[in-house]
Amino acid sequence: MREFVITTESNNDMPKEFLEANGIGVIPHYYTVEEETYGGEYPELSNREFYDAMRAGKKAGTMASNPAVIEEMFTAYAKAGKDILHISFSAALSGGFGNVSVGARNICEEYPGMKAIVIDTKSASVGEGILLMKAVELRSEGKTIEETADVIRDLVEHLFVQFTVEKLDYLYRGGRLSKSSMVLGSLANIKPVLYVDPEGKLVPLTKVRGRKKSLTTIVDNAAKQMGSYQDKQIRVGIMHGDCEEDALYLKTLLQERFGYPDELFLIVPIGPSIGAHSGPGTVGLVLLADSRA
């Protein structure tokens, strides 16, 4: 059985220590602030620096992965005799999936007998992260690349991904939301709840009044949808755009409702690659459920 490596993109938002400890290859996605490019081979901003720039009104944007960087990474693994399992950011939200798929196809043509499997998580941030954790676990148990991929593909269909944002302007500017949805959601003290649908698209779900109500609504939705997965969570992922206090409040709500222990939670900051579109003040929940919405 050939050894395989696990790769992903930088918008998985997992702790650097986890990625390095498990030898996970990370393909950078890039971001811009006022036309200055960051990420990968370019300089990096801390999350706080990035979100402060957005709060100051500076224009932020993103770019997908670089095909040349993908080719270089995949070639190195191929020369080392390793297969590749790539766990990708949602294809419906970025061109990165397409870039990696082309890179995987090319490397397999160049190195006959090599396997490179690319999985669309139809998710983002800690949604990718939870699947990375499961893939690492399966690999450590001696599962083959095909067996691991089969499990991950099944879990993709059970990822519950819902979140709320402080302002819809950022989603609209980034092309992730229509103008009509942005205008309707920007009424006084209206907070939207959005979700990533079964196709991996970002879709408005409902709108409520007030920040705490939006977080409570997400927990209520999780309670309705978890079903048979309530006691089978890999991790309960909470992501936030430089608003840790709200993330911890969401954790408290979940613990009060389901009694989940501290160690089950994975709370991560949303990095610039996603934060450029969702903005500061974003809080999201990712877990396994019978249905996405």
Q: For 4-29+64-156, CATH number?
A: 3.40.50.10440
**DSSP-derived secondary structure letter, 34:** T
173 has a pLDDT exceeding 80: no
Query: Quick one: pLDDT at residue 203?
Result: 86
Question: Which residues make Cβ contacts (< 8 Å) with residue 55, sequence separation at least 6?
Answer: 280
Structural domain boundaries of the chain?
A: 4-29+64-156, 159-288
- 259-271 tens-digit pLDDT: 999 999 999 999 9
Residue with tokens 């996603």: 274
pLDDT, averaged across the chain: 92
**Cβ atoms of residues 63 and 93 within 8 Å:** no
106-110, 175-179, 242-246: segment of lowest average pLDDT: 175-179
Query: Quick one: pLDDT at residue 188?
Result: 54
Q: Calculate mean pLDDT across residues 267-291.
A: 94
Query: Quick one: pLDDT at residue 268?
Result: 96
Topology alike, domains 4-29+64-156 and 159-288: no
What is the reported pTM? 0.93
- Token digits of residue 228: 């048979």
184 has a pLDDT exceeding 70: no
272 has a pLDDT exceeding 60: yes
Torsion of CA 21, 262, 126, 55, to 10 degrees: -110
3-state secondary structure of 80: coil
- Token digits of residue 121: 């998580």
Query: Quick one: pLDDT at residue 174?
Result: 55
Measure Cα distances from 217 to 184, 205, 220, 235 in Å: 18, 11, 5, 20
Q: Which CATH number fits domain 159-288: 3.30.110.60, 3.30.1180.10, 3.30.200.210, 3.40.50.720?
A: 3.30.1180.10
13 has a pLDDT exceeding 90: yes
247 has a pLDDT exceeding 70: yes
165 has a pLDDT exceeding 80: yes
- 32-83 tens-digit pLDDT: 999 899 999 999 999 999 999 999 999 999 998 999 999 999 999 999 999 9
Query: Quick one: pLDDT at residue 183?
Result: 52
